[in-house]
Structure 1
Amino acid sequence: MCVNTLSAYGIIAIWQFEMRASMAAKPSPASTRFVKTSLAEQAYEELKKQILDLRLRAGARVNIDALSRECGISTSPLREALIRLGSEGLVVSSTNSGFSIAPVPDAQQMRQILEYRLMMEAHCARKGAVNASDETIASMEKSCEAMGAMYKKGLSYKYYRQYIDLEQTFHQLIVDSADNPIISSAYSGLHTILLVARLSVVPNSNNIGSETVMQEHLEIVEAFRAHDPDRAESAVHGHLKAAQLRAQRSDVTQVLASD
């Protein structure tokens, strides 16, 4: 009887082990959701790329059914992607008209963004310059050199896009130098909106940078290299203040150009 009882317990134990192994091998609801999220992530990346490449123009309505057929996926992950893009200011939605690509920020909105940057970047420059690492300074120098190369290459969309990406990297380095992840995250949220606005402007001799802007960037780098907080704050403040003045003398095109 004791042997039979032990045998029964052994069988039950083996059955329980096999059941646990079987359950572990089956996809869990979480892994199923992960596949869906992966599709939404892919849709998000593709739609964002189309917006930034100006294939989806500002103000254009988004036909979800057509996109679904084009991408070969259901509308659900597309909606998730569009909602996420909406949180970044790239897409707007309404009950009546559905989703559409966000309009380009106007001159007043751009000036408000510059005002925010003036306060944020000057503060971060002062704090970050004191203990700026060699790596940070080298990255800033590299960005400046690359911007100069793009400036010399001309006004094509390809070089204009690269110039803007490099400039945004440069200014993000200033903010990141303060070593405050909350500020860095909040500041980086501006990049996408600024990028779309600036890419919507046809490149010309005024908006792919200038010798003056290049010199302002170099002054910031020199202040960081000297680990001089007063000089760094002054250089960043002067650069962005000059951008505001350039903006006030012209329209939104010049606001975008004077960064």
Structure 2
Amino acid sequence: MQPARRITLTDDVYAAVQTLIMDHEVEPGARINIDALARRLAVSPTPVREALARLESDGLVSKRPLVGYTATPLLTRAEFEDLVEMRLILEPTAAAKAAGAGLDEAEVAALRAKADLPAGPGEIAAFTAQDARFHHSLAALSGNRMLHDAVVRLRAHLHLFRLHFPTAHYGVSASEHHRVVDAVCAGDPDAAAAAMRAHLTAARDRHLPFFESR
């Protein structure tokens, strides 16, 4: 086992580099200099390499022979539509299965707590992380491990909120989450699937102006 301090350092560096990429301080497509990044974060190159390996699995960086790591480009319009299509296939089904699973009070309370989202400027990272927790937790409550794994592997939140962060998300997304939870609590699979579908479609529409302005 690794010492706890080493694990914490690796996690901290991972979070720091992820934030730099999400905030475009490391520009999409830019080459990543490991030594320079280590100096900036005041750490050795080793945790930076470990962080980049994790971020490669997230799809935020890519590694090329003789070049090293680069930040991946932003989604194209076609890739964005493909991602939304995949979510519309997976997540309404997950919501419906969770609604039919007969969740206990503790599970419902935990899910409802995750439905709430930070609602203010400067909280993009916290919003993105909490939004992911809600969707991933709901998929876990479906009882289908492969469905949950597929939702998590999409890394949808990392890619979507890297495009831009529509201010229209504040307040609205949490309300949409709670409508999904209400349907899940009522044990209504059809309503839960419909609420999730409506949420994903509305989120898609909030991101579309990014592509229209490019």
TM-score norm. by structure 1 comes to 0.65
97, 101, 121: which is aligned to 2:67?
Answer: 97
- Cα separation, 1, equivalents of 2:202 and 2:51: 38
Report Cα offsets for 1:191-223 as digits up to 9, x if no partner.
3x522541452x55324353xx44432221111
Q: Secondary structure at the match of 2:158?
A: helix
Q: Secondary structure at the match of 1:250?
A: helix
Deviation of 1:48 after TM superposition, in Å, equals 4.0
Pick closer, same or farther for the CA change 1:69–1:165 going to 2, 3 Å.
closer
The residue type paired with residue 140 of structure 1 is L
Report Cα offsets for 1:16-74 as digits up to 9, x if no partner.
xxxxxxxxxxxxxxx7xx68xx969844640442222434343332112334556553x
Contact 1:140/1:173, CA 8 A, preserved across alignment = yes
Report Cα offsets for 1:77-112 as digits up to 9, x if no partner.
644543332122121122243211222223322221
- Cα separation, 2, equivalents of 1:217 and 1:249: 20
Larger Rg belongs to: 1
The aligned counterpart of 1:107 is: 77
Structure 2, unmatched stretches of 5+, are none
Q: Secondary structure at the match of 2:199?
A: helix
Contact 1:219/1:235, CA 8 A, preserved across alignment = yes
The aligned counterpart of 2:87 is: 117
195, 198, 201: which is aligned to 2:161?
Answer: 198
- How many pairs are equivalent? 207
Deviation of 1:252 after TM superposition, in Å, equals 4.2
User: Are positions 1:243 and 2:203 aligned together?
Assistant: yes
Q: Which has the higher contact order (CA 8 A, sep 6+)?
A: 2
Q: Secondary structure at the match of 1:99?
A: strand
Structure 1, unmatched stretches of 5+, are 1-30, 255-259
- Cα separation, 2, equivalents of 1:252 and 1:209: 23
The aligned counterpart of 1:16 is: none
